[in-house]
Structures are given as structure tokens and as C-alpha cells.
Amino acid sequence: MKRLTALFLAVVMVFCLAACSSSNSGSSAGKDADKAPAFKVGCILVGDETEGYTKAHIDGIEAAKKALNLSDDQIVYRYFVEESSACYDTAVELINSNKCNLILSNSYGHQDFMAQAAKEFPDVTFIAMTGDFAAISGNANMKNAFTEVYESRYVSGVVAGMKIKELVDAGKLTDKNYTADGKVKVGYVGAFNYAEVVSGYTAFYLGLTSVYPDAAMTVDYTSSWFSVDKEAAMAEQFIADGCVIIGQHADSTGAPSACQKAWENGTVVYSVGYNVDMLNVAPDAALTSAANNWAVYYTYAFKAAMNGETIKTDWAEGYDQDAVHITPLGKSVAPGTQEKVDEVINGLKNGSVKVFDVSTFTLDPSVQWCACEVDASGHLTSCKEDMSYFDYSTGAPQLVYQGETYEVIENGAFAESKFRSAPYFNLRIDGITELG
């Protein structure tokens, strides 16, 4: 009995090896897809609806589905797909077994594995959301997309600036809330120290200082996209140091909850969130949140794919297409905030307001800024951004995909997300202190 079972199992394993060879010739299953041209989307998601970042994507996909009258079986979801070969496996499975002809992934780390699949299935379109090398990878069927969320961060910064101005005018702040040189303290809970976050907090700070210039912001990193405990602990630290506003680029409600708790204990502190409305966890302390409208992109991409049109390789839109927004203002915002917000959004739409206007910020002229030139007063005059994709693991960057180099200072502003959808503003401007 024992031997029989064992023998049977050994045979199964050997059969599997034999099946490997036979399926090699049969892996053209993906090509059979042109027999069934029905439009079908496979969604590879890093989390599920219980996690804010992925929920925002699901909401966007569902909205696009509704707008385009797609049926339930035209959208296939795969949740909690790791940023490993699991992503590649899932893509192959979605194409072979589910006959999907558009595959999208929502996390940056999926990108390499999407590229691997894109090479093998040239007839299928692959969208690596937030990715950065589709244009230079040599796979015409690979796409990237990102919203210009720095615009909504700028607007959320304006809301914070209005609040600081109100507090200062009313004399509500104490010595603890000012730095030694008299600037109001602001804290920012970041996830990681790369361009997406740097671009975001800089935009937030510039929005804030456009209303109240005398502010000093401190940024720290949790090294995690989602950690209620770490984000709350960091916010508490900032609050203890006297920060009046706590901004964030991390996905949990940890920081707003900490602000609400401090607010209830009589501390003057307000929160600006990210991705989702924070008013349910911080009804008094939350001012607003910067957020994305992924539905705008998904509707565009699905529609283009259905009509057989080519999807843009690098898609990045902001207020102009309503691809970004701020969530409804909380009851604690300063009077006149809504009017100011509308005015700034109008400015962003008609081009009279530029987020990274080089006249509004300075860099330390004594630092050798790689690829960028700074004049004696600290203003940027030129920046040559190389869009190549590198492998940094050995220490020295090794070229993986060659990209072009662009002058990104255009008409007096740093042109973020213009030459590639993924953010590339990676400079440390004056007024912001980075910890960690």
C-alpha cells in the first residue's frame, strides 16, 4: 500500500516533467485569443479592497467598467499578488486561461515581471501603473501611467497654509510651534525616500508656503507603505516637537488618528491625509486629503483598447482632466479656504499657477547638484534629467534600458511628469529637513 502510493506520486511528478515539454509547443494558447476578440481585462493587484491604495484602483476600474458598459466577466481581478514571479505567473494565467487581452498591475514592483510577460505575449497590452520604463523597454505593448498627484498635493498644501495663517493671526500658536528662526513647524510622514515621495512633499510644501511663507517642514520615513503603528508613532513624535500640520505620503490612517487624539487633548495640530477622506477617523483634526481619480485613466485606457486604438505609452494627467482632487474640506479649515482652493485649481488648469515654479523655491548653491544648475541666489536654471533605467544593486548604476536626457526646466518651472509619467523631481529644496 505504502509503496503503491509512493510509486503513484513519483509517476505524477515524472508526468509533470513530460507535460513541461509538451506544453512548450502548446503555449501558443495566448495566440488563440484572436479567435475570441472580446475585450477582457486582467487586473493584478498588490492588495485588495481592505487596503486604501488598491481600493482606490478598484474604485477606478469599477467606475470605468460602468462608464463603458462592460460586463462583470470582462474584468478579472487577482488580489494580493506579490512583486515576484507570482506577478508573471498571474499574467500568463490571465492570458492563457481567461483570455484577457489587457493586463494591468497596480504596484511599481510588478513592472519587471510585467515586462517579462510583455516580451512573450506581443499581442496583449500590459499596463504597469506607476512604472517608469515602458517607453524605453523596447516592448511596444507595454504602457505606464501615473496621475499628476503633485497638483492635488499642492492644493492640499494651500489648505494647510490657510490654516497656519489663521492660527498665527489669532495668536493660537506658542513658542513650541516655532523654530529658532521663527518659522512655523510642519511635519510630514513619508513612506520611502524616492522621487515619488520627494516630488509629493515638495509640492505640498510649495502649496503651503504660497500662502504662508515662513514655514519649516521636517520629513521622516517609515520604510513601509502601510503601517498604522509606525505612521501614528511618527506623527506623535512630530506633535511632541510642536508641529502644527502633519502631512503624509503613506497609506494608513495612523497619522490622522494621532492628530485627532492630540487635538482632543487640547493640542493645536491638524492633519492633511492621502488617498482617502480622513474625516471619519479625524473629524476635528483632518483638513483634507490629496487623492487620485484613477477612473479617468482606466476609462481612457479601456476605451482606447476596445476601439483598437493605441494607448499612450506614458500617461500623466492632473486637474486638467480631473485625474486628481482633494477630498471634501473638514470643519476645521480656515474661513475662505474653499474660495482660495477654487482659485488655485483654476490657476493650475489655465496654467497661471505652476507647482514647481523655480522662482518660488531655492536650493543650496554650495551643493553640487548633479545634472542641475543653480544660480547664486539658489534658483534652478537648468536640469538635465536622464530617463534611463538603471540597476543599482552593485553600487555603481548599471544600465538596463537606455533613455534620452531632457532639459526639464521649461518656461520657468520644473516640468514634472512631462517626459515620463512616473515622477522624477528628486531635489531637496530649502526649508525642508529630511530625517532618516
Partner 1 sequence: MGESVKYAVKEPLVHITRRTDIRSWKAWLIRVASVVLALIVNALFIYSVTGLDPVKVYTVMIQGTFQSTYNFLTSMRDVALLLCIAIALAPAFKMRFWNIGAEGQVLMGGLATALVMIYLGNAMPPWLLMVTMFAASIAAGALWAVIPAIFKAKWKTNETLFTLMMNYIAINIVDCLTNIWRGSKSSMGQINANTQAGWFPRLLGYRFTINIIIVLVLTVVMYIYLKYTKDGYEIAVIGESENTARYAGINVKRAIVRTLLISGAICGLAGCITVAGKNQTISVNTAGGYGFTAIIVAWLAKFNTFYMMLIAFILIVLEKGAIQIASAYTLLNDYAADIITGVILFFILGSEFFINYRVVFRARRDREEEQA
Q: How far is the CB of 115 from partner 1 (least distance, A)?
A: 8
Q: Which is nearer to partner 1, 96 or 271 (CB)?
A: 96
Which parts of 111-213 fold into alpha helices (H)? Answer: 111-120, 149-169, 195-211
Comparison of 144 and 209: residue with beta carbon closer to partner 1: 144
Min dist CB 153 to partner 1, Å, is 17
H, E, C per residue of the chain: CHHHHHHHHHHHHHHHHHHHHHHHHHHHHHHHHHHCCCCCEEEECCCCCCCHHHHHHHHHHHHHHHHCCCCHHHEEEECCCCCCHHHHHHHHHHHHCCCCCEEEECCHHHHHHHHHHHHHCCCCEEEEECCCCHHHCCCCCEEEEEECHHHHHHHHHHHHHHHHHHHHHCCCCCHHHECCCCCEEEEEEECCCCHHHHHHHHHHHHHHHHHCCCEEEEEEECCCCCCHHHHHHHHHHHHHCCCCEEEEECCCCHHHHHHHHHHHCCCCCEEEEECCCCCCCCCCCEEEEEEECHHHHHHHHHHHHHCCCCCCCEEEECHHHCCEEECCCCCCCCCCHHHHHHHHHHHHHHCCCCCCEHHHCCCCCCCCCCCEEECCCCCEEEEEEECCEEECCCCCCEEEECCCEEECEECCEECCCCCCCCCCCCCCCCCEEECC
Q: How far is the CB of 380 from partner 1 (least distance, A)?
A: 19
Between 109 and 347, CB nearer to partner 1: 109
Give the shortest CB-347-to-partner 1 separation in angstroms.
Answer: 31
Give the nearest distance from C-beta 155 to partner 1 in angstroms. 24
Using the minimum distance from each CB to partner 1, give the nearer residue, 83 or 236: 83
Cβ atoms of 288 and 111 closer than 8 Å: no
Give the shortest CB-363-to-partner 1 separation in angstroms.
Answer: 18
Nearer to partner 1 among residue 114 and residue 262 (C-beta): 114
Q: Which is nearer to partner 1, 128 or 160 (CB)?
A: 128
Closest separation in Å from C-beta 321 to partner 1: 25
By C-beta, is 17 or 180 nearer to partner 1?
A: 17
Residue 426 CB, nearest approach to partner 1 (Å)? 7
Closest to partner 1 by CB, 211 vs 219, is: 219
The three cell numbers of residue 376 are 547664486
The distance of closest approach from Cβ of residue 111 to partner 1 in the complex, given in angstroms and rounded to an integer, is 7
List interacting residues with partner 1 (CB under 8 A).
Answer: 1-2, 5-6, 9-10, 12-13, 16-17, 19-21, 23-24, 26-27, 29, 48-50, 76-80, 82-85, 89, 92-93, 96-97, 108-109, 111-113, 116, 132, 192, 194-196, 223, 390-394, 397-400, 426
Q: Is the CB of 162 or the CB of 432 nearer to partner 1?
A: 432
